[in-house]
Amino acid sequence: MSEIIPRPPLPPFSYDDAVLKVRRAEDAWNGRDPLKVSLAYTPDSRWRNRSEFIRGRDDIVTFLSRKWERELDYRLIKEIWAHSDKRIAVRFAYEWRDQYGNWFRSYGNENWEFDENGLMAERHASINDLPITERERLFRWPAGPRPEDHPGLSELGL
């Protein structure tokens, strides 16, 4: 059985808590470590990602490992859309290239629900991919978390 380690901020979320939760999720996903990312979710977390249904941390690790083997040079920006006591709605965009050097920007929305320990129990994601040229890329920071001074989605007009 997986140990449950609280992930502050904890519900009920203030606006500032929700913004921090979104940024921590963005930073973790930009780190591209499937096991580390999975620990922010409940052991029995339920996901819908596009048309795929995922259940639990082991499935999350498998899914993310497969994702980041295919989506190379992945860079993600998330932005809060709305929040309540234990739910957060996010919009996001990420850029990546395939093994042939074709670039894409993927746009989407996520709905998150958290348990009392601040772990995400549900994640529902709708995502669309747009082919872009290398010159159209906007997310050019080195691998890892987005620098604090890099513009967000609204500032980039996305």
pTM of the predicted structure, to 2 decimals = 0.96
Q: How confident is the model at residue 3 (pLDDT cuts 50, 70, 90)?
A: confident
Question: Scanning the structure block, which residue is given the tokens 């890892």?
Answer: 144
Q: What is the mean pLDDT of residues 42-66?
A: 97
The structural domains of the chain, ordered by start, are: 15-140+147-156 (3.10.450.50)
Question: Scanning the structure block, which residue is given the tokens 């709305």?
Answer: 82
Flag whether pLDDT at 130 surpasses 80: yes
Query: What is the secondary structure of 101-146 as a DSSP string?
Result: S-EEEEEEEEEEEE-TTS-EEEEEEEEEEEEE-GGG----SPSSSP
- % residues pLDDT > 70 (the chain): 99
Assess contact for 26 and 77: CB atoms under 8 A: yes
Mean pLDDT of the chain: 97
Q: Please write the tens of the pLDDT for every residue from 143-157.
A: 999 999 999 999 999
pLDDT value for 18: 98
Question: Scanning the structure block, which residue is given the tokens 């249904």?
Answer: 53
Q: What is the mean pLDDT of residues 52-78?
A: 98
pLDDT value for 2: 58
Flag whether pLDDT at 16 surpasses 90: yes
Assess contact for 152 and 40: CB atoms under 8 A: no
pLDDT value for 4: 87
Which region, left, alpha or beta, applies to residue 118 given φ > 0 means left and ψ of -120 to 50 means alpha? left
Query: What is the secondary structure of 27-85 as a DSSP string?
Result: HHHHHT-HHHHHTTEEEEEEEEETTEEEEHHHHHHHHHHHHHHHSEEEEEEEEEEEE-S
